[in-house]
Amino acid sequence: MNSATQTNDPTPSHSQHPAFEWVRSQVIDSLKITVEEYRHKTTGAAHYHMAADNDENVFLVALRTVPMDSTGVAHILEHTALCGSERYPVRDPFFMMIRRSLNTFMNAFTSSDWTAYPFASQNRKDFDNLLDVYLDAVFFSRLDEMDFAQEGHRVEFAEPNNTDSDLVYKGVVFNEMKGAMSSVPSTLWQALCKHLYPTTTYHYNSGGEPEDIPNLSYTQLKDFYQSHYHPTNAIFMTYGDISAEEHHQKFEQLALSRFKKLDVNISVPKEKRYLAPVRVHEKYAFDEEGSTEEKTHLVMGWLWGQSANLQDLLQGQLLASVLLDNSNSPLQRVLETTELGNSPSPLCGLEDSMRELTFVCGIEGAHADNCEAIEQLILDTIKEVAEHGVPQEQVESVLHQLELHQREVGGDGYPYGLQIILAAIGNAAHRGDPIAVLNMDPVLEQLHKDIKDPNFIKNLAQKLLVDNPHRVTLTMAPDTELSAQKDAREAAQLEHIKSSLSEEDKQHIVEQANALKQRQEQQDDESILPKVGLEDVPTDTHTVEGTQLTLGQLPAQCFVQGTNGLVYQQILVELPPLPPKLVELLPYYTNALTELGVGEKDYLATQDWQAKVCGSINAFTTIRGAVNDEQNIKGYLVLSAKALVRNQQQQSELMQKTLLSVRFDELPRLRELVGQQRARREQSVTNNGHSLAMSAASSGMSPVAYLSHSLSGLGGIQAAKALDDSLQTEQGLNKYAEKLQQLHQLILKSSKQVLLVAEEDKLVDCQQSIASLWNDSENTENLGHFSPDPIRETRKQLWVANTQVNFCAKSYPTVPVEHTDAAPLTVLGGFLRNGYLHRAIREQGGAYGGGASHDASIAAFRFYSYRDPRLEETIDDFDRSIDWLLETDHGEEPLEQAILGVISGLDKPVSPAGEAKQEFHNSLFGRTHQQRREFREQVLKVSMDDLKRVTEIYLKPDCASMAVITSSAKYEKLADFVSINELEVNIL
């Protein structure tokens, strides 16, 4: 199992830049990379290069940032550093480069103790351009005071130029964190860290507490930059086929040659340990209608070993997974089944990103009187594990999961190289060995030996949990007055500020607001920034081809891909016609399908079976409209799993039996699952409100749009609450189980097919396994196709939720992807965002984000804002952007930038397995490679006349639908803007 080779020669096997010294190299076969470690001779900056045969090159520079307050200094600095630099003194180079680039990823992160600036690109010219801008932004930022006011915080008069009006706080990060801290899990986590870490940086909110952010001064921001943003405190990481020497040449030329070593060692000290467990009580804002009973959260947190110590890390991951991995894990089982609360806390698990490992478990939806009993239940369960251990098979299954995770080649969410870098950056930031974290095989091998000792898990539980006094039990109760109290404190603070202002001070605020507005509206000379153009766009995109054959009685499509020893399987069942009452149950059915018992096994035994056989197994529905008619839809149930190739036979058996023999007679389990879904959905608003608002605004555009809103959108949240309430009676629960069984039987009768993705030398064995299981004649009927009624109507909705910020959306009916206007509508979204909406909604309006996009799958053009302090002004901005487009003469460069943005999205690479899945699922719905290539060609030919034409045709005021998510406190304000009689008002 030895998968790494470390070279001990004093010099590397290749040439190197004289400014850097080589430290070591190590081959990691399981990740298909060679990691090379270097140090910059002058500053001591670390560089870890992951050499790989991959043209999607990734860059990241991270700085250790250790704030000791909750003003959000590191977070605001992350934003402000990207607002102009020495070589690129334009107002917004980061967002300008997004639209002048073919990047596959661009962003910046503020973690609890480090800040990182990553990007990725498949185009070498583009990579070099982005590297120039990123290095200058990080090490030579202008930090203009106006940018600090825009991104961080400022006060302005509510009515511009009227010094008699009230003062208000504004700022992008200020509003972002108001939105973030509207989330109960975020509030819970920050409260737990405050008590679990009494002396170190984790005691504070690195993102910034809204009440503390206004205390940060511009001088403090600059001082933090000077002390933290220096190469001595920096970690560079790169991935891809560009050599380390080429990177070093750029690093030295563009930045490092101008620095000397800084006499500083920024780090997080070891936390002071408690001598006895601590119990604390906090409150969270509860602004929903209804009772506050059974709304209390209880979580327990422990500090374990060092995250930079690989043995501590892997042992911690092992114990956490043994306790919480699935529904048959001892702690997860009691948290799911206890009557003392509704469901396990969303914080459950091991947090390994900080210097010291944090283990958390708990319950949400509890009665306040039950908190002591819940704490005792958790402690008793842990003591039971410490005394008696767990079955050996469960421990081996956990190690199996860790091995599979190590081997899987990702890249479907983040670029694969960035995933590897992010897995290592925390360890590097804590001055551990990031290469060891990437090469887990030797430690996994040691753990395989360790777990043969029946006392190993027992001893871990005893040491890390039972005998560990650094434990915090936090109960957090709902408070219906807390939001009003926070608003009152903010208003009082602003009134105090206003009362102390001289006339000169007031005038200064007015002048600053006007100056900032003028600065935001000025047109910078973008030509000083590097760019790629349409001439740099590849003429075609890569595609993969599968082989069609029959396995047993099932049609199949098989793809040969480099999966690093994993096998991916999907069984697809075409959805038949379904009555509306069964359609409503689809998301609950797909969730239950892999969470219930199978055959003679109950759900607990089935969970063990799954963990032993595969890395994951899940079910979902995929429903899309035709390429030429969004009203003509079809859908599939998809049962999907991945496994190590040695388990492919068992994987096939598990999938077949799950589909054919799932049990719907486990009624308590069914109720648990719905309760868990309800909790997850209720928590989704603050982080995903813009998507939910767009889904609601588009819900009248097509059957797919309606289903998206009613099944998984805001309508789905309402439905989950109603369903959960209905299952509290035995009669309701029995009726629900019967409907699920009825739905399942209808689906089983429909036609099936298989998708298989594996490496070439493993494919035949996988095919034989599937064929042997599906060799009997299938009992299928020609039931017809799933085809809900067409829908095309305008809707205006207002949703009242537990949020401190707003989410606004507006939607217009358009055309499906095969229509010739689909391409210009797609480009139009980026054009409006780049040219008008970003400035108006984010920079001037203070929202965390805003923009527009065309979704051809539902034939809708949609505007949106995210974590927005405004309502009617934002909706007005949506309309003004249309006027701006039609009434302004625009140059060719903004058009080219919008086209580049679309192409960048179309060409974004995915994992090898994801590429095959994407190709297969596209073909199911008529999105062939030829169709996608033609659409790409149409995008490249879009003109300004096309943009204006489609705007006039489709973005008509009387066709617009709207949806707004807001708080109950702001509900009345919207009544002055849109007649309440025009709105469908919903309370979440």
DSSP string over 738-766: HHHHHHHHHHHTS-EEEEEEE-HHHHHHH
Helix (H) or strand (E) holding 88: none
3-state SS track over 164-204: CCCEEEECHHHHHHHHHCCCHHHHHHHHHHHHHCCCCHHHC
- Residue 163: partners with Cβ closer than 8 Å, 6 or more residues away: 157, 503, 506, 507, 509, 510
Question: What tokens appear for 244 in the block?
Answer: 């380390």
Question: What tokens appear for 173 in the block?
Answer: 């990060």
Q: Are strands 343-344 and 554-560 parallel, antiparallel or unpaired?
A: unpaired
Torsion angle defined by CA atoms of residues 595, 599, 602 and 605, in that order, rounded to the nearest 10 degrees? -80
CB atoms within 10 A of CB 367: 14
Q: What is the pTM of this model?
A: 0.92
pLDDT at 411 over 60: yes
Residues of the chain with pLDDT > 70: what percent?
97
pLDDT in tens, 181-229: 888 999 999 999 999 999 999 999 999 999 999 999 999 999 999 999 9
Give the span between the Cα atoms of 354 and 865, in whole angstroms.
32
| Residue count (the chain) | 988
Helix (H) or strand (E) holding 961: strand 961-966
CB under 8 A, 24+ apart: contacts of 919-924: 919/543, 919/544, 919/545, 919/546, 919/559, 920/546, 920/557, 920/559, 920/755, 921/622, 924/572, 924/622, 924/636
pLDDT in tens, 131-163: 999 999 999 999 999 999 999 999 999 998 999
Among 861, 822, 817, smallest CA distance to 632 is for: 817
Q: Are strands 629-644 and 796-800 parallel, antiparallel or unpaired?
A: unpaired
Burial class (CB in 10 A: 0-12, 13-18, 19+), 412: middle
Q: Are strands 46-51 and 105-106 parallel, antiparallel or unpaired?
A: unpaired
Provide the pLDDT confidence category of residue 744 given band limits of 50, 70 and 90: very high
Phi then psi dihedrals of residue 821, to 5 deg: -85, -5
pLDDT at 975 over 80: no
Helix (H) or strand (E) holding 331: helix 330-337
* C-alpha distances out from residue 515 to 219, 507, 813, 826, Å: 20, 12, 39, 34
User: Is the distance from CB of 105 to CB of 127 less than 8 angstroms?
Assistant: no
User: Is the distance from CB of 850 to CB of 878 less than 8 angstroms?
Assistant: no
592-614 burial string, b = 16+ CB within 10 Å, else e? bbbbbbbeebbbbebbbbbbbbb
Among 119, 115, 117, 123, smallest CA distance to 106 is for: 119
Q: What is the mean pLDDT of residues 273-291?
A: 91
**How much is the pLDDT for 273?**
95
CB atoms within 10 A of CB 437: 22
Query: Strand, helix or coil at 284?
Result: strand
The alpha-helical segments, DSSP class H, found in 229-301 are 244-254
Place of tokens 């690479």: 909
Question: What tokens appear for 532 in the block?
Answer: 């790629």
**How much is the pLDDT for 40?**
98
pLDDT in tens, 758-815: 999 999 999 999 999 998 756 677 778 899 999 999 999 999 998 888 999 999 999 9
Helix (H) or strand (E) holding 59: strand 57-64
pLDDT at 16 over 90: no
Helix (H) or strand (E) holding 486: helix 482-499
Could you tell me how far CA 480 lies from the centroid of its own chain? 30
pLDDT in tens, 60-83: 999 999 999 999 999 999 999 999
**How much is the pLDDT for 289?**
75
Give the span between the Cα atoms of 500 and 163, in whole angstroms.
13
pLDDT at 685 over 70: yes
**How much is the pLDDT for 5?**
47
**How much is the pLDDT for 3?**
43
**How much is the pLDDT for 2?**
40
Give the span between the Cα atoms of 926 and 963, in whole angstroms.
31
Domains of the chain: 4-266 (3.30.830.10), 278-479 (3.30.830.10), 547-773 (3.30.830.10), 796-987 (3.30.830.10)
Residues of the chain with pLDDT > 90: what percent?
82
User: Is the distance from CB of 660 to CB of 892 less than 8 angstroms?
Assistant: no
Among 662, 960, 626, smallest CA distance to 785 is for: 626
Look at phi and psi of residue 240 and say left if phi exceeds 0, alpha if psi is from -120 to 50, else beta.
left
pLDDT in tens, 646-679: 999 999 999 999 999 999 999 999 999 999 999 8
Give the span between the Cα atoms of 44 and 435, in whole angstroms.
18
Q: What is the mean pLDDT of residues 99-123?
A: 94
**How much is the pLDDT for 8?**
43
Provide the pLDDT confidence category of residue 973 given band limits of 50, 70 and 90: low
pLDDT in tens, 435-475: 988 888 888 888 989 999 999 999 999 999 999 999 999 99
Q: Where are the beta strands (DSSP E) in 431-521?
A: 471-479
Dmax (CA) for the chain in angstroms is 88
Higher per-residue pLDDT: 738 or 92? 738
Side-chain half-sphere of 778: how many Cα atoms within 13 Å?
Answer: 22
Side-chain half-sphere of 609: how many Cα atoms within 13 Å?
Answer: 21
**How much is the pLDDT for 974?**
61
Q: Are strands 849-855 and 752-758 parallel, antiparallel or unpaired?
A: unpaired
Out of 250-254, 408-412, 830-834, 884-888, which region has the weakest mean confidence (pLDDT)? 408-412
Torsion angle defined by CA atoms of residues 756, 757, 762 and 766, in that order, rounded to the nearest 10 degrees? -20
pLDDT in tens, 522-576: 888 888 999 999 999 987 777 899 999 999 999 999 999 989 889 999 999 999 9
Q: Name the average pLDDT for the chain.
A: 93
CB under 8 A, 24+ apart: contacts of 387-395: 387/458, 388/458, 389/454, 389/455, 389/457, 389/458, 390/322, 390/329, 390/330, 390/457, 392/451, 392/454, 393/608, 393/612, 394/322, 394/328, 394/329, 394/608, 394/611, 395/318, 395/322, 395/451, 395/457
**How much is the pLDDT for 977?**
54
